[in-house]
Amino acid sequence: MSRILVVEDEPHIASLVAKALRRDGHDVVLSEDGEVGLFIAVADGVDCVVLDLGLPGLPGAVMLGMLREERRELPVVVLTGYDDPEHRAECLAVGANAFLTKPFTVAALRSAVREQLAVAGAAARGDGR
């Protein structure tokens, strides 16, 4: 079972994401705030982060950049309402591993998280999948 941190300030979206990931057998930790989310991601041994960009406290893009300084290998799936190519490219350049726009499908979210966990697991094993 993987431990997934969901950093999302919209309660209905956070609940939907948590429910979908728990259905896949993951332990889900929720945070509504970028600063708290960063602390949890760095200190709490999570295996993947699902990150909204429009957060109170510390914006998601800033959190992502700071997270990359501390835990470069941690998979991050960005969820955002910003759907433009420049924004996507910027997030991927800062270190997002996957990028989903709102509205998103639960299937796409589950697939992105599953894929990122598999890639991270392969890298940790050194088999380069």
3-state secondary structure the chain: CCEEEEECCCHHHHHHHHHHHHHCCCEEEEECCHHHHHHHHHHCCCCEEEEECCCCCCCHHHHHHHHHHHCCCCCEEEEECCCCHHHHHHHHHHCCCEEEECCCCHHHHHHHHHHHHHHHHHHHHCCCC
Higher pLDDT, 125 or 72: 72
- In this structure, CATH architecture of domain 3-122: 3-Layer(aba) Sandwich (3.40)
8 Å CB contact between 93 and 78? no
Taking only the tens place, the pLDDT of each residue in 51-99 is 998 898 898 889 999 999 999 999 999 998 888 888 888 888 889 999 9
pLDDT at 129 over 50: no
128: confidence class by pLDDT, cuts 50, 70, 90: low
8 Å CB contact between 53 and 61? yes
Share of the chain above pLDDT 90, in %: 71
pLDDT at 100 over 50: yes
Instruction: List residues bridging with 50 in a β-sheet.
Output: 6, 77
CA distance 30 to 12: 12
127: confidence class by pLDDT, cuts 50, 70, 90: low
Share of the chain above pLDDT 70, in %: 98
Domain extent listing, the chain: 3-122
| Average pLDDT over every residue of 26-55 | 94
What integer best gives the mean pLDDT of the chain?
Answer: 91
